[in-house]
Structures are given as structure tokens and as C-alpha cells.
């Protein structure tokens, strides 16, 4: 039967402790009320959302300034099993990794790095995330029937994943190979009932030539994931996040949740962003050059006025056991979209395959009769 495995599950440490003004207990951010709520007395404290940090930061000077580092005293905890690095208060001790459940946690010498300027606060509560998981697991026909009754669900944890966004003006010089269709009339001999017959038809051909030119494009908020902890395919399936909901990073939004330290550096992230921009530039050039076929054969791009933002995006993450195997799943903390791994029933797959073959065979026999 479904249950929480309390003895082996990761303990979610609070990244921030903000005291309740009523009883003095530690409050937690409540996605449903979008404010702080005390789990002891139920007192709620509103959070005023602000939007002062939407300004872009200069990429070139990022490594020479400490103005954008974490201002609060932080420690970085690293999981020796999955490599996840969590940013926690200096006085917090992490017992388990919230990403994989491992107890092999150590304090590293790394600093917390660049503080996020913006985040999307959780809008899906833990209870809502669990409900969405249950609906998701029941909706998979090819999962074993027994799975829906006997899986053991681990403790679900709310975590903010780190991302970079980049803006850049680009100016590119390109060389393209351009093909234009033309048609030639061709007469050929075909045989019908053993007799030759002359057939005239239009045959499509391509005339190629080479062109060069310049192309400019501005890229705004190219989003690059700075975490390697969550399986990329799972994360891709719960996207997109609605970045219009980004608000200023505040301690209150972090209360009761984890913040993962970025594993992709600012410079590495821009290298990935350049690949995204290059693809966009290539598509833009192909659209702007007149021709039936346009192939970019050479491209040289200058990137100027590069800016960035460090943002945090919310997910609920957990896993479940079935037949002594662990399957991870995640829930988008903003939209509630679910993605995860699950076992497949070989019997169901075989049954459906045989059923499809029988139907196809019956259709074939009917058409042949």
C-alpha cells in the first residue's frame, strides 16, 4: 500500500528561518496564500512582491565584483552520491540529500557564489503536488496494475533550481549556399503491355550559387539550466516556466525550501547560450535569404552588450520504490505539470501489440475478400 518511508527519506532543511510574530516559531512560505505561515499557531504574514531586480547585470564585469554575491552567511553542502550542492544557512546541518535521499553529505569549501536576483515563488503546495502525482501515476496504462497499490512514496521536497538568463546583441557575417528550383522537359521511353511509349515530363532540378552578407539579431532572456542534478528529460517535460512571474529574490520565499547551488558557471552557461543563439541566427539567415534552399556554410558572430540574470525556478522532487527499484519524479512548482520515470508492464505491452496485429490482419482479410 502507498506510504511515506520516514526512516530512509531525505530531511528537508529550511534555508531560511523567519520567526512568527505571534508565537516565535519558524514560519514557512505557503504557496496557496503566497505568504508566510506558522505551522505551530497558523498565523500568516503577507509578503510584498517587488520587481526591482529585473535589471540585467553586466557579464564582462561579473567576475570582478562582489556586489552580487550572497549577502547572508551561507554554507554549501554537497551530496557525495548525486553531486547536488545545496545552499543553506550557516547554522543548518544537512542530514540527507533532498535530491536522491543519500546520507553521505559533506560541507565543502565552496562559497555560495552569485546570489539569485529573481525567482518564481512556489504556487503549487506540497499537498497539491502529491495529488498531481497520484493522478499522474494512475493515468499510465502501460504501468503495472500492482504499481498503483504497492509503491512506496518518498518524502517530497520543494527545491529552487538555478538558471541563468542571457541577453546579447549579435552581428554575424555569413556565407550561404543558395539553391533555386528550375524545370527541364525530359522525354523518356516507358513500356506498357510490352510496347514502348514516349512520355514527356517536367523534371525538377536545382541551380546553386553562393552568397555572403551580414545579419543582426538581439536575443532576450536565453534560458540556461545551471543544475545537473535533475534528469534533463524529466525537467524538459515539465517546462515551460512562465518567466513573467519572476519576482525579486527574498528570504521569505525561501523559508521551508532548498536552493540548489549552480553547477554550471556563469561563463559555461554563456557558452551554452551561444549555441542556442547560433541556432537562432542560422534560422534567421535562412529565412532572410531569398532561395528555395538556403544552407549556411560559414558563420562568424560577434556578441556585444552581454548581460545576465541569476534566477531560481521551483520544483517538487521525490521518488518512489517499486519492486526494489527507485523511480524519480518531479512536479513543476509553478504550473503543476508532472514528469517522471515508471516501470513498464511487459504483459500489457505484449497484449496491446498482439491486439493491434490481430486488428490489422482482420482489416487485411476483409479488404482481400
Is 175 part of a structural domain of the chain?
Answer: no
Residue 311 C-alpha cell reads as 534566477
- ∠ at Cα 10 (6, 12), nearest 5°? 110
Q: Which residue has 515530363 as its cell numbers?
A: 201
State how beta strands 57-58 and 44-46 pair.
unpaired
Encode pLDDT of 294-349 as tens digits. Answer: 999 999 999 999 999 999 999 998 877 778 787 888 999 999 999 988 777 777 77
Q: Which domain holds residue 103?
A: 18-162+225-262+311-368
The answer for residues whose C-beta is within 8 angstroms of residue 148's C-beta and 6 or more apart is: 137, 138
Q: How far apart are CA 228 and CA 76, in angstroms?
A: 16
Q: Is residue 51 a part of any domain in this protein? A: yes
What is the C-alpha to C-alpha distance for residues 278 and 217, in angstroms, rounded to an integer?
Answer: 10
Domain membership flag for residue 289: no
Residue 173 placed within a domain: no
What is the pTM (predicted TM-score) of this model?
Answer: 0.77
Q: What is the pLDDT of residue 360?
A: 87
**Residue 103, in any domain of the structure:** yes
Does residue 190 sit within a domain? no
The DSSP bridge partners found for residue 157 are 317
141-161 residues labelled b (16+ CB within 10 A) or e (exposed): eebbeebeeebbbbbbbbbbb
b or e along 270-295 (b: 16 or more beta carbons within 10 Å of the residue's beta carbon)? bebbbeebeeebbebbeeebebeebe
pLDDT in tens, 250-274: 888 888 887 788 889 999 999 999 9
Residues in the chain: 369
Question: How far is the C-alpha of 6 from the C-alpha of 74, rounded, in Å?
Answer: 28
Residues 207-230 have pLDDT tens digits of 999 999 999 999 999 999 998 788
Do the domain assignments include residue 236? yes
36-57, pLDDT tens digit by residue?
999 889 999 999 888 887 778 8
d(CA 163, CA 167): 14
Q: 209 in a domain, yes or no?
A: no
More confident residue, 67 or 167: 167
C-alpha angle 197/198/202, rounded to 5°?
135
CB distance 100 to 7 below 8 Å: no
Give the number of domains in the chain. 1
The pLDDT, as a whole number, for residue 75 is: 62
- Grid cell in block for residue 152: 512506496
pLDDT digits (tens, 9 = 90+) for 74-124: 666 667 666 666 665 554 445 556 566 555 555 555 566 788 889 999 999
Please, is 259 exposed, middle or buried when counting C-beta atoms within 10 Å of its C-beta (0-12, 13-18, 19+)? buried
For residue 227, give Cα distances in angstroms to 111, 258, 269, 280, 311: 16, 13, 10, 23, 12
Nearest Cα to 273, choosing from 313, 243, 306?
306
Percentage of the chain lying above the pLDDT 70 cut? 80
CA-CA distance, 41 to 26, in Å (whole number)? 10
Catalogue the E-assigned strands of 80-156: 85-89, 105-107, 118-119, 152-153
Amino acid at each position: 500500500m502507498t506510504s511515506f518511508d520516514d526512516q530512509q527519506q531525505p530531511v528537508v532543511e529550511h534555508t531560511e528561518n523567519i520567526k512568527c510574530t505571534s508565537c516565535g516559531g519558524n514560519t514557512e512560505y505557503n504557496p496557496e496564500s503566497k505568504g508566510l505561515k506558522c505551522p505551530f499557531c497558523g498565523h500568516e504574514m503577507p509578503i510584498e512582491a517587488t520587481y526591482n531586480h529585473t535589471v540585467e547585470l553586466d557579464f564582462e564585469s561579473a567576475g570582478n565584483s562582489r556586489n552580487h554575491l550572497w549577502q547572508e552567511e551561507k554554507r554549501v553542502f554537497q551530496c557525495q552520491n548525486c553531486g547536488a550542492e545545496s545552499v543553506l544557512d550557516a547554522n543548518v546541518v544537512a542530514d540527507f540529500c533532498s535530491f536522491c535521499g543519500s546520507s553521505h553529505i559533506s560541507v565543502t569549501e565552496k562559497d555560495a557564489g552569485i546570489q539569485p536576483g529573481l525567482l518564481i515563488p512556489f504556487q503549487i503546495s506540497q499537498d497539491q503536488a502529491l495529488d498531481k502525482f497520484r493522478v499522474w501515476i494512475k493515468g499510465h496504462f502501460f504501468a503495472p496494475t500492482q504499481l498503483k497499490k504497492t509503491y512506496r512514496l518518498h518524502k517530497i521536497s520543494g527545491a529552487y533550481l538555478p538558471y541563468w538568463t542571457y541577453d546579447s546583441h549579435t552581428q554575424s557575417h555569413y556565407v550561404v549556399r543558395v539553391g533555386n528550383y528550375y524545370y527541364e522537359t525530359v522525354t523518356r521511353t516507358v513500356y506498357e503491355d510490352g510496347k514502348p511509349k514516349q512520355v514527356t515530363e517536367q523534371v525538377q532540378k536545382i541551380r546553386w550559387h553562393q552568397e555572403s552578407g551580414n545579419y543582426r539579431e538581439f536575443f532576450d532572456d536565453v534560458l540556461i539550466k545551471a543544475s545537473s542534478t535533475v534528469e534533463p528529460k524529466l525537467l524538459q517535460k515539465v517546462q515551460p516556466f512562465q518567466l513573467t512571474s519572476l519576482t525579486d529574490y527574498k528570504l521569505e520565499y525561501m523559508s521551508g525550501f532548498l536552493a540548489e547551488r549552480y553547477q554550471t558557471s556563469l561563463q559555461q552557461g554563456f557558452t551554452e547560450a551561444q549555441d542556442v543563439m547560433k541556432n537562432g541566427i542560422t534560422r534567421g539567415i535562412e529565412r532572410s535569404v531569398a532561395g528555395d534552399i538556403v544552407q549556411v556554410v560559414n558563420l562568424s558572430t560577434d556578441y556585444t552588450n552581454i548581460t545576465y540574470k541569476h534566477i531560481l525556478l521551483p520544483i517538487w522532487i521525490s521518488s518512489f520504490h517499486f519492486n526494489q527499484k527507485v523511480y524519480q519524479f518531479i512536479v513543476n512548482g509553478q504550473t503543476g505539470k508532472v514528469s517522471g520515470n515508471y516501470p513498464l508492464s511487459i504483459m500489457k505491452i505484449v497484449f496491446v501489440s498482439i491486439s493491434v496485429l490481430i486488428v490489422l490482419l482482420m482489416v487485411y482479410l476483409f479488404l482481400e475478400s
